[in-house]
Amino acid sequence: TVAGKELLVGNFKLMDQFKIVHSVDTQKIIHTVIAVAYDSNFVGYLTIADSIKSDAKKTVELLNKLKIKVTMLSGDKNTVVKDVAHQLGIKNSFGDLLPEDKVNKIKEIKARQETVAFVGDGVNDAPVVALSDVGIAMGGLGSDATIETADVVIQDDQPSKIPMAINIGKQTKKIVWQNIMLAFGVKVIVLILGAGGIATMWEAVFADVGVALLAILNAVRIQRMNFSRS
């Protein structure tokens, strides 16, 4: 109540509830709308929208190159979600979702035997993050509940760190398998030589300590790799 008269601030459903007459075509408004009425008269409306992160489009492009399907799930207005998805090049997007709706969408995807990684920051994202195979939270602006539930936390809130982390994981896995094959290969060769009476103690030492040192040197290579350009 302002100066003895009623002030209404909310969405257009609030205007309809209080029978406030207006001529605004809400279907043509893309962004989130805040309508204002004073003393039973419609005053006008404001539109608000979150700014898209500078590296968001690059992130989607990198994920597509990695053959990862990107789907956008949001509780925001569906027109906003569709507009943002179009700008970022995301083909599958769903808006006006409640937390339980997001959960159901993730269950549908997992029912197709697909591995799901979900990225979220709001408190409403915590159930979906917990349900996903890999839950990723934004550490700067993310809610405490989502951060506690997540498997991975991005401290600087840059989405581009997601494909970077995937590339680091793939390269690490590759090096691990290289080390396993190296260790087994050398040991098998030394065992065969030993059975033939050719291998000496020095070959046996190399098969044990030497292979371990080679594996460490091979693993150290990952520190010199540049993943920011991946």
Do 187 and 97 lie in a common domain? no
Say if residue 122's pLDDT is above 90: no
pLDDT digits (tens, 9 = 90+) for 28-58: 888 888 999 999 999 999 998 888 888 999 9
Do 172 and 159 lie in a common domain? no
Do 25 and 124 lie in a common domain? no
Do 137 and 63 lie in a common domain? yes
* Backbone phi and psi for residue 74, each to the nearest 5 degrees, phi listed first: -150, 150
Say if residue 6's pLDDT is above 80: yes
pLDDT at 142 (0 to 100) = 62
Indicate the average pLDDT of the chain: 89
The Cα 129–Cα 151 span in angstroms is: 8
The Cα 68–Cα 160 span in angstroms is: 14
> Would you give the DSSP letter of residue 51?
P
Task: Specify burial of residue 124 (Cβ count, 10 A radius: 0-12, 13-18, 19+).
Answer: middle
The total domain count for the chain is 3
Do 113 and 67 lie in a common domain? yes
229 lies in a domain?
no
pLDDT digits (tens, 9 = 90+) for 155-168: 888 999 999 999 99
Q: What angle do CA 133, 139, 145 make, to 5 degrees?
A: 65
- Residue 72 maps to which CATH number? 3.40.50.1000
pLDDT at 230 (0 to 100) = 53
Do 22 and 115 lie in a common domain? no
pLDDT at 121 (0 to 100) = 82
pLDDT at 69 (0 to 100) = 94
Do 206 and 141 lie in a common domain? no
3-state secondary structure 159-223: CCHHHHHHHHHHHHHHHHHHHHHHHHHHHHHHHHHHHCCCCCHHHHHHHHHHHHHHHHHHHHHHH
pLDDT digits (tens, 9 = 90+) for 128-142: 999 999 999 887 766
Task: Specify burial of residue 103 (Cβ count, 10 A radius: 0-12, 13-18, 19+).
Answer: middle
109 lies in a domain?
yes
Amino acid at 52: I
Higher local confidence (pLDDT), 2 or 229:
2
pLDDT at 226 (0 to 100) = 81
129 lies in a domain?
yes
Say if residue 108's pLDDT is above 70: yes
Look up the domain containing 32 and give its range: 7-48
Do 181 and 201 lie in a common domain? yes
230 lies in a domain?
no
Higher local confidence (pLDDT), 199 or 59:
59
Do 89 and 159 lie in a common domain? yes
- pLDDT band of 196, cuts 50, 70, 90: confident
pLDDT at 203 (0 to 100) = 82
Do 43 and 80 lie in a common domain? no
Do 74 and 122 lie in a common domain? yes
Do 80 and 117 lie in a common domain? yes
Q: What is the DSSP string of 55-85?
A: THHHHHHHHHHTT---EEE-SS-HHHHHHHH
The Cα 205–Cα 208 span in angstroms is: 5
1 lies in a domain?
no
